[in-house]
C-alpha cells in the first residue's frame, strides 16, 4: 500500500502521484453504498461526494487527456466548501490548480440537482465562455460508470448553454460586458480570467444586482477567478476596494 506523501522538499514523480490518486479514489469507491438511490441522494446533498465521479480533460496530456477529478488534492475540498458557503469569492489560480474545472463542476452539480437555477459564466471572449460551459456538458456526460446516471434528469446541451427542462435550470456563457449581464438574473455567476477583462470593475459592479433578491432567504453568488495580475481583480482578492466603489447601488 502506498503511504500518504509527506509534503516536504522532495519532488514526487508523476507515477507516485498517479498511484496515490488512484488509491485515494479506490478507497472511496470501496465504501460506496450499494443502493443507487443512496448514491444519488448523497451526491445531491454533497457536491464533494459527487466530485468523486467527475472526470476532466487535460489537453496537455496527449496519451491520457481524460482524467478523474483530483479529489486527492485536499485544498480542492476546502475550495468546494467555500463555494457552498460564501456569496462573494475571489480565487487567484494557476493552470494546474484545477480551479476552473472545480467551479464548473460545482455549477454542473447545481443545475442537475436543483430546481430553478440560472447559472452563468462571463469571460473575455464569447468562445472562452462557451468552452467553459462545454466543460459542464463533458462532466455530466462522462460521469464514472459507478454513478447511477440513469437517475439524473435529462439535460440538453447547445453552444454556450445547457438546459435541464425537468428542473427549469440552466447554465449560460456570455462574453464580458456589463450591459449584457444587467438584463439577466442569476443564481451563480463566474467571472473567469477577470484580471484580464478590460471592463472588470464595471462588470463586477453590474453583476451584483443580478444576484440580489430582497425576497430570497439566500441571494445569488459571484465567483471571481483569474490568473494573478495587477488591477481590480487583485483589489478584490486582497480586500482593497476603496470606499467609493459602487456595488448594487451602494458603496462597498
Helices in 55-197 by DSSP H: which ranges?
74-85, 99-113, 126-141, 178-182
For 110-144, b/e burial (b = at least 16 CB within 10 A) is: bbbbeeebbbbbbbbebebbbbbbbbbbbbbeebe
- State the pLDDT confidence band at 77, using cuts at 50, 70 and 90: very high
pLDDT of residue 12: 79
Residues in the chain: 252
pLDDT exceeds cutoff 60 at 3: no
Provide the CATH number for the domain formed by 31-251 in this structure.
3.40.50.300
Average pLDDT over residues 159-183: 86
- State the pLDDT confidence band at 4, using cuts at 50, 70 and 90: low
Of 101-105, 217-221, 242-246, give the lowest mean pLDDT range.
Answer: 242-246
Of 34-43, 128-137, 184-193, 201-210, give the lowest mean pLDDT range.
Answer: 201-210
Q: What residue spans define the domains of the chain?
A: 31-251
**Which has more confidence, 28 or 231?**
28
- State the pLDDT confidence band at 236, using cuts at 50, 70 and 90: confident
**Which has more confidence, 245 or 230?**
230
Helix/strand/coil for 212: coil
Residue with cell 456563457: 173
DSSP 113-136: HSTT-EEEEEESSHHHHHHHHHHH
111 neighbors 171 (Cβ within 8 angstroms)? yes
pLDDT exceeds cutoff 60 at 252: no
pLDDT of residue 218: 64
| Distance of alpha carbon 44 from alpha carbon 27, whole angstroms | 21
DSSP 37: H
Angle of helix 99-113 versus helix 36-45 axis, rounded to 10: 120
Which residues does 46 contact at the CB level (< 8 Å), separation at least 6? none
Question: Measured between alpha carbons, how far is residue 112 from residues 61, 75, 136, 189 in Å?
Answer: 29, 24, 10, 16
Cell numbers given for 120: 452563468
pLDDT of residue 249: 45
Cell numbers given for 219: 441571494
Residue with cell 440537482: 113
Amino acid at each position: 500500500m502506498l503511504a500518504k506523501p509527506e509534503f516536504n522538499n522532495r519532488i514526487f514523480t508523476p507515477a507516485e502521484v498517479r498511484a496515490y490518486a488512484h488509491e485515494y479514489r479506490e478507497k472511496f469507491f470501496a465504501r460506496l453504498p450499494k443502493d443507487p438511490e443512496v448514491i444519488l441522494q448523497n451526491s445531491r446533498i454533497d457536491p464533494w461526494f459527487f466530485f468523486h465521479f467527475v472526470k476532466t480533460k487535460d489537453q496537455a496530456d496527449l496519451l491520457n487527456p481524460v482524467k478523474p477529478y483530483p479529489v486527492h488534492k485536499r485544498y480542492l475540498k476546502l475550495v468546494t466548501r467555500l463555494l457552498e458557503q460564501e456569496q462573494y469569492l475571489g480565487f487567484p489560480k494557476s493552470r494546474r490548480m484545477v480551479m476552473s474545472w472545480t467551479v464548473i463542476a460545482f455549477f454542473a452539480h447545481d443545475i442537475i440537482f436543483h430546481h430553478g437555477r440560472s447559472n452563468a459564466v462571463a469571460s473575455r471572449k464569447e468562445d472562452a465562455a462557451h468552452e467553459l460551459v462545454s466543460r459542464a456538458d463533458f462532466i455530466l456526460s462522462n460521469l464514472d460508470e459507478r454513478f447511477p446516471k440513469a437517475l439524473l434528469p435529462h439535460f440538453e446541451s447547445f453552444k454556450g448553454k445547457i438546459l435541464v427542462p425537468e428542473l427549469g435550470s440552466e447554465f449560460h456563457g456570455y462574453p464580458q460586458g456589463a450591459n449584457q449581464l444587467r438584463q439577466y438574473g442569476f443564481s451563480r455567476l463566474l467571472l473567469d480570467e477577470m484580471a484580464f477583462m478590460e471592463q472588470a470593475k464595471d462588470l463586477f459592479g453590474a453583476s451584483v444586482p443580478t444576484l440580489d433578491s430582497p425576497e430570497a432567504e439566500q441571494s445569488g453568488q459571484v465567483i471571481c477567478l483569474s490568473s494573478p495580475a495587477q488591477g481590480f481583480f487583485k483589489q478584490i482578492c486582497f480586500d482593497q476596494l476603496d470606499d467609493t466603489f459602487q456595488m448594487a447601488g451602494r458603496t462597498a
